[in-house]
Amino acid sequence: MSVVVGSVPSPTPPCAHTIRLLVADDQALVRGALATLLGLEKDIAVVAQVGTGREVVGAVRDQRANVALIDIDMPDMDGLAATAALTASGLACRSLIVTTFGRPGYLSRALEAGASGFLVKDTPPGDLAEAVRRVHAGLRVIDPALAQESVLLGPNPLTDRERAVLRLAARGADAREIAVALHLGQGTVRNYLSSAIAKTHARNRTEAARAAETNGWL
């Protein structure tokens, strides 16, 4: 496990009221910058850093983190799946999604996974630190502009099967290849594609996949 413990020195030892923070981001420079900035706060101690979603639960358990700052786009297991796994673990740790991808669909999926907050990475450091405190206190923190977009867009209209089919279509797979990958009949795949195209108001599978990805539905 590539967990970095105590990577950001603190001027004083963490006290009982210090927020124990885990930072999960696959980009080392971004991860280090977030850890350094937040580690400067007197009431926040960065106790662990991880580079994949699959490491989150174990690191939270080992380092007794109170709040997990989680990116979405990570290898092995993405941040949304990692958040869901953390929620299911029953550990006393709240999750705050901080991502480059400010997409309304990601917000709704993050909340469904049990996240307590959702912010974009251009959030000012002071606001981010305050968000960590609010999440730790049991409050919910959501980027206001993204929340408004999410309300206007509405819930994800795609079923799990339609999303799976569109993910493969987005990679260039044809109906036969999708059918083989998902163990479905080609006719069934075409039906899922037609339904997804209609729901995304697209003209073809390529446009449907692009629209679903832009909205964060995939």
Give the pLDDT score at 148.
64
Looking at the 3D structure of the chain, how many domains does it have?
A: 2
Residues 6 or more apart whose CB falls under 8 angstroms from that of 102 comprise 120, 143, 145, 146
| Same-domain check for residues 92 and 180 | no
| Same-domain check for residues 37 and 141 | yes
| Same-domain check for residues 172 and 201 | yes
Task: Report whether 117 contacts 92 (CB < 8 A).
Answer: no
Task: Report whether 56 contacts 31 (CB < 8 A).
Answer: no
Range of the domain at 62: 19-152
DSSP characters over the chain: ---B-S-S--SS---TT-EEEEEE-S-HHHHHHHHHHHHTSTTEEEEEEESSGGGHHHHHHHHT-SEEEE-SS-SSS-HHHHHHHHHHHT-S-EEEEEES---HHHHHHHHHHT-SEEEETTS-HHHHHHHHHHHHTT--EE-HHHHHHHHHH-S----HHHHHHHHHHHTT--HHHHHHHHT--HHHHHHHHHHHHHHTT-SSHHHHHHHHHHTT--
Give the pLDDT score at 35.
95
Give the pLDDT score at 11.
41
The pLDDT tens digits for 23-37 are: 999 999 999 999 999
Residue 8 within any structural domain of the chain: no
Report the alpha-carbon distance of residue 214 to residue 90 in Å, rounded. Answer: 32
Task: Report whether 18 contacts 63 (CB < 8 A).
Answer: no
Task: Report whether 67 contacts 38 (CB < 8 A).
Answer: no
pTM comes to 0.68
Task: Report whether 8 contacts 55 (CB < 8 A).
Answer: no
The yes-or-no verdict on residue 152 having pLDDT over 60 is no
The pLDDT tens digits for 105-122 are: 788 888 889 999 999 888
The pLDDT tens digits for 71-86 are: 998 988 999 999 999 9
| Same-domain check for residues 125 and 31 | yes
Q: How confident is the model at residue 150 (pLDDT cuts 50, 70, 90)?
A: low
Residue 170 within any structural domain of the chain: yes
Report the alpha-carbon distance of residue 121 to residue 112 in Å, rounded. Answer: 21
| Same-domain check for residues 121 and 168 | no
Residue owning tokens 């006719």? 187
Q: Kindly report the CATH number assigned to the domain that includes residue 205.
A: 1.10.10.10
| Same-domain check for residues 79 and 128 | yes
Q: How confident is the model at residue 8 (pLDDT cuts 50, 70, 90)?
A: very low
**What is the overall mean pLDDT for the chain?**
86
Domain end: 152, 171, 202, which one?
152
The yes-or-no verdict on residue 153 having pLDDT over 70 is no
- Give the lowest-confidence range in 14-23, 86-95, 158-167: 14-23
Report the alpha-carbon distance of residue 203 to residue 207 in Å, rounded. Answer: 6
The pLDDT tens digits for 38-66 are: 999 999 999 999 999 999 999 999 999 99
